[in-house]
Amino acid sequence: MIQRQYLQPFCKMAKRSAFFLLFCATSMSAVVAQTIPIKKEYAQTLLKLSDALLKRQMTDSADRNFGGIACAHCNVWHTRAAETVYPFTTAYIITKEERYKQAALNAAHWLFRQQESNGSWKETPEEWTGTTTDQLLMLLLSYEKLSHQFSSAEKQKWVNVMQRAAAYLDSVMRPEFASINYVATTTATLAKAGIILSKPAFTLKAHQLARRTISKIDEDGFLNGEGGKSHGNKMGVDLAYNMEMSLWGLALYAKLTKDELVYGKVKFALKNHLYFIYPDGSLDASWGIRSNKWTGYGSATSDGCQVLFSLLADEDPRYATAAYLNLQFLRKNFTGDLLGYGPQYAEVYNKPPCIYPSFAKAKNLAMAYMFETREVRSLHPIPSQQERWLKHFPTLDVVEVRTKNFMATITAYRYKDQLAGSKGKYMFRPDGGTISHLWAKGHGFLQASSPTIYTRPEPMSFPEAPGVRPLTSRIEYEDTAGYFTNLFEFDARLRIDSVSGRQYSIDAAGELKDKNWLTGGVGYRMNYVFTDTSIQKTVQLIYHDAWPVIKIIEPFVLDGGMKIETMDERTVMLSAGPKKWKFSLISGNARLTACDQPQNYWAPYPAFKACALVLEVPAGVVDQASELVYRLSVIQ
């Protein structure tokens, strides 16, 4: 059923305050509100993922890993893969096919055998035990649906395992022990354990953890606590882990315990998080401190956003739209029957993906299916589907811009891991006022971001990628003192300079720094001007203590059949199907080259290949700034 509705404009006028800046179109627009079978959509992808994981489940009862799920990519039996117990259970409820129920039981029994003496599970092949909360919650939800078919002995076996795991979480879980997403998930896990196991002490601990967690939500609704430790506590925001782990954990806890304060905080937070679902459904985790696992559809090892949107679907009709758009984008990321690390996984890798994204997104879809209260939802436009607006998130210093043909995220997110410094795994995210995600209407990704220096903080989750260069747009130089770039400027000054009608101007300024956040002697100022048909960038280089040759690098993603052709010494054409864009050096002294070091411009996360356009600026002159102006224009 499709019906046409004429909605009020997204905004009637621009609103300014110390904490909020949003500009929108003022003309009426007609949009289509479409009704879709949302649960059927969840079930479709859930069953596809469940079948892929069931195919990889050990079926030989004589094998020590009977019931486990093999990962050919890692050659590891991931204990977290047993969380598929709940997707299998949900698949059984949907289809009534016994094979899914048996797969669920086999996965559970395999997991039982992996339990440590203290009740925890290690996140094999690592030693980390915080993921016990994820495994326990999937057991609890499965037990609730299957236990009426269990014998007394089977029930007791499950209860014993679950009680030991809950007792472990009760004893260790707090923000000083784990990143905040584990704490938030544990609020739901222990709340459910309190109900299923009739243990009020678990419910009390869930309440304490929930109240502690919401205290770390800032005034824009972003939850801190994903970064490095300082005095035992953690700060730092990651959009993907907020949406795909923490907020749904808090929402589920709040619904189980009827905690209105916590539920209200989640409702408040989600309204701003909604802006980071792009028009194509991609989830913009490009700027967060765990962006080194950003896949485009979410994060590789977090669960997914559909469960969050389903839990709050009755609060705002736009949430169903966001869930559905992201689901459609996620479906584009299959390599064979498994989810890869991004849209071009098959072009980047020559082996099947790790099963981690597949079982994580399967459990998310299982919960989304079970918690969704309606078979059908209406799709109402989310912010990114509306044209001509700009929004600044002051607590982050992140800006989003949406014009007729473009949407972009500009990041100057200020978090710093003060204790770990350059050894911290969270300090290689894009920064310094760069564009970390650029989308083009009718095409999709034009630019993405990846770690400034690729490292492997979790060797099993981060594949080897020797020689890779960042996909992120940047200014850089190297000299005898080291490598310097605006991407290591975590104190950049961001300003929304002027806005009029259909033109949006953003300024960023700072110093080119090395990985230790030390200045090299060159400052920079950047100005972006977004219109409906172009993005113009002015870069000014200020030489105060060094005068090196500097490169301004603009990588463009080679997805969707993208082709890049040099037209002359100042012009490059980009084309993908019927879409065309022109990259032009408007003014300034620089040499433009295309597709520099092509073998090095790819990324494991998100899995993309790119062509780098390089503007090489000659060595600087004392007291004389260099200024370049270049523009990306829509041709058709």
Q: Are 454 and 468 in contact (CB under 8 A)?
A: yes
Tokens of 163: 């009680």
Alpha carbons 40 and 343: distance in angstroms, whole number: 24
Alpha carbons 394 and 400: distance in angstroms, whole number: 12
Least confident of 32-46, 150-164, 434-448, 549-563: 32-46
Q: What angle do CA 377, 27, 271 make, to 5 degrees?
A: 45
Query: Does the pLDDT value for residue 25 go beyond 60?
Result: no
Query: Does the pLDDT value for residue 15 go beyond 60?
Result: no
Q: Are 252 and 266 in contact (CB under 8 A)?
A: no
Q: Are 249 and 201 in contact (CB under 8 A)?
A: no
pLDDT at 294: 97
- 222-234 per-position pLDDT tens digit: 999 999 998 888 9
Please give, one letter per residue, the 3-state secondary structure of 374-386.
CCCEEECCCHHHC
pLDDT at 14: 38
As a whole number, the mean pLDDT across the chain is: 93
Considering only residues 21 and 151, tell me which one the structure prediction assigns the higher pLDDT.
151
Q: Which uninterrupted H or E stretch holds 139?
A: helix 132-146
Question: Locate tokens 């408040």: which residue?
Answer: 268
pLDDT at 502: 83
Tokens of 66: 């009977």
Q: Are 147 and 158 in contact (CB under 8 A)?
A: yes
Summarize the confidence of residues 209-229 as an average pLDDT: 97
The CATH class of 37-384 is mainly alpha
Q: Are 28 and 9 in contact (CB under 8 A)?
A: yes
Q: Are 572 and 565 in contact (CB under 8 A)?
A: yes
Range(s) within the chain of domains with CATH label 1.50.10.10: 37-384
Summarize the confidence of residues 375-384 as an average pLDDT: 97
Question: Locate tokens 């009608």: which residue?
Answer: 501
pLDDT at 185: 98
Considering only residues 48 and 230, tell me which one the structure prediction assigns the higher pLDDT.
48
- DSSP per-residue string spanning 241-258: HIIIIIHHHHHHHHHHHT
Confidence class for position 29, pLDDT limits 50, 70, 90: very low
Local structure of 479: helix, strand or coil:
strand
Alpha carbons 526 and 634: distance in angstroms, whole number: 21
pLDDT at 18: 34
Alpha carbons 377 and 547: distance in angstroms, whole number: 59
Q: Quick one: how far is CA 50 from the chain centroid? A: 23
Q: 501 burial class (0-12, 13-18, 19+ CB within 10 angstroms)? A: exposed
pLDDT at 398: 98
Question: Locate tokens 């001007």: which residue?
Answer: 529
pLDDT at 27: 33
Range(s) within the chain of domains with CATH label 2.70.98.70: 2-33+387-634
- 579-635 per-position pLDDT tens digit: 999 999 999 999 999 998 999 999 999 999 999 999 999 999 888 999 999 999 999
- 492-531 per-position pLDDT tens digit: 999 998 777 789 999 999 999 999 999 999 999 999 999 9
Share of the chain above pLDDT 90, in %: 89
- Supply the angle between the helices 132-146 and 85-95 in degrees, to the nearest 10: 30
Q: If you count DSSP H runs as helices and E runs as strands, how many of each does the chain have, helices first? A: 14, 26
Cα dihedral sign, 149-155-161-163: positive
Query: Does the pLDDT value for residue 31 go beyond 70?
Result: no
Q: List, in order, residues 6 or more apart from 155 with CB less than 8 Å away.
A: 147
- DSSP per-residue string spanning 280-344: TS-B--SSSTTGGGB-SSSBTTS--SHHHHHHTTTT-THHHHHHHHHHHHHHTTEETTEE-SSTT
Alpha carbons 542 and 627: distance in angstroms, whole number: 9
Strands in 2-7's sheet, in edge-to-edge order, are 2-7, 29-36, 377-379
User: 595: how many CB neighbours lie within 10 A of its CB?
Assistant: 18
- 554-588 per-position pLDDT tens digit: 999 999 999 999 999 999 999 999 999 999 999 99
Q: Are 160 and 183 in contact (CB under 8 A)?
A: no
Query: Does the pLDDT value for residue 13 go beyond 80?
Result: no
Q: Are 185 and 131 in contact (CB under 8 A)?
A: no
Domain made up of 2-33+387-634: CATH architecture: Distorted Sandwich (2.70)
Q: Are 580 and 635 in contact (CB under 8 A)?
A: yes
Alpha carbons 499 and 215: distance in angstroms, whole number: 35
pLDDT at 23: 37
Summarize the confidence of residues 413-424 as an average pLDDT: 92
pLDDT at 459: 80
pLDDT at 2: 34
pLDDT at 33: 65
Query: Does the pLDDT value for residue 351 go beyond 80?
Result: yes
Cis peptide leading into residue 352 (ω within 30°): no
Q: Are 375 and 37 in contact (CB under 8 A)?
A: yes
Closest by CA to 132, choosing from 140, 120, 144, is 120
Closest by CA to 203, choosing from 180, 214, 187, is 187
Share of the chain above pLDDT 70, in %: 94
- 267-285 per-position pLDDT tens digit: 999 999 999 999 999 999 9
